Amino acid sequence: MTTLTVIRPRPEDVEGQPILRPLPSRECRSVGPFVFFDHMLPTRYAPGTGMNIRQHPHIGLSTLTYLFEGALQHKDSLGSDQVVQAGDVSWMTAGSAIAHVERTPQAIKARGFNLHGLQVWLASPKDHETGPGHYSHHPAASLPVSDNLGVHIRLIAGDGFCLRSPVPVLSPTLYAEVQMQTATTLLIADEHEERAVYVLEGEVQLDGEALEVNSLVVLPTGQEMTLYAESDCHLMVFGGAPLDGPRRINWNFVAS
């Protein structure tokens, strides 16, 4: 049986929002360009409350925010001001420096809401670390999807599963949301050198080995593997080309 690297994320709190953070960890510092993976756990906000991530800077990375429920308002030092709805992609490349805030839009804050989503950081290639900053918003309808034999895939960024996302990634990347019905299978090809699976919900096996909910599993290089859904399940598949050298992460900064 193949030995898998299994990461059980540590709990964190970001401005009152509970999260799980499997990357970075002692077991694995990165998967492809992904150096940071935050799972914003399902949270109910009462009327008049919400998430408020105060202004902070970034360098040397791109942030990608993707929500399953709720909405966030993104503002940054480039002048961007965008409400990000569930299913949209909020993509920000920091370059040499950018500052941004993410908070609950007033329209939903007043009535109360549920929030559930992910934010990941992708390290920029060395030749893009000090370039100009950039922000782009990609509505849910612009993302490619595949529905086949009970398996629904939405390609959030990069390419994979015969799909290509419009998000302007800077290196070979795979980032997909996968929903599987009971007793369905999905082949994870070896088209990307580094790959991982994060289980959001449900009972699922990877080449016969059961995966825990909220665990991140790093796949061995160069090996095709098959997911089997023992129940309806929801997970993320991600990875890409290895980083072009080691990275240091200090607070919100990533650099070679």
Residue 56 half-sphere exposure toward CB, CA atoms < 13 A: 12
Find the angle CA(22)-CA(228)-CA(220) to the nearest 5 degrees.
50
Backbone Cα Rg of the chain? 18
pTM summary value = 0.96
| Cis status of the peptide bond prior to 47, with omega within 30 of 0 | no
Residue with tokens 């329209």: 107
The binding site for Fe cation consists of 56, 58, 100, 102
Alpha carbons 142 and 168: distance in angstroms, whole number: 13
Query: The tokens of 182 are what?
Result: 């009971």
CATH 2.60.120.10-classified regions of the chain: 5-140, 142-240
Among 199, 202, 181, 176, CA closest to 89: 176
Residue 104 half-sphere exposure toward CB, CA atoms < 13 A: 26
pLDDT tens for 95-132 read 989 999 999 999 899 999 999 999 999 999 999 998 89
Q: Exposure string (b/e) for 64-95, b if CB count within 10 Å is 16 or more? A: bbbbbbbbbbbbbeeebebebbbbbbbbbbbb
What is the CATH architecture of 5-140?
A: Sandwich (2.60)
pLDDT tens for 36-60 read 999 999 999 999 999 988 899 999 9
Fold of 142-240: Jelly Rolls (2.60.120)
Residue 93 half-sphere exposure toward CB, CA atoms < 13 A: 16
pLDDT in tens, the chain (256 residues): 577 899 999 899 988 899 999 999 999 999 999 999 999 999 999 999 999 888 999 999 999 999 999 999 999 999 999 999 999 999 999 998 999 999 999 989 999 999 999 999 999 999 999 889 999 999 999 999 999 999 999 999 999 999 999 999 999 999 999 999 999 999 999 999 999 999 999 999 999 999 999 999 999 999 999 999 999 999 999 999 999 998 888 878 788 8
Q: 127 φ, ψ to 5°? A: -80, 0
The binding site consists of 56, 58, 100, 102
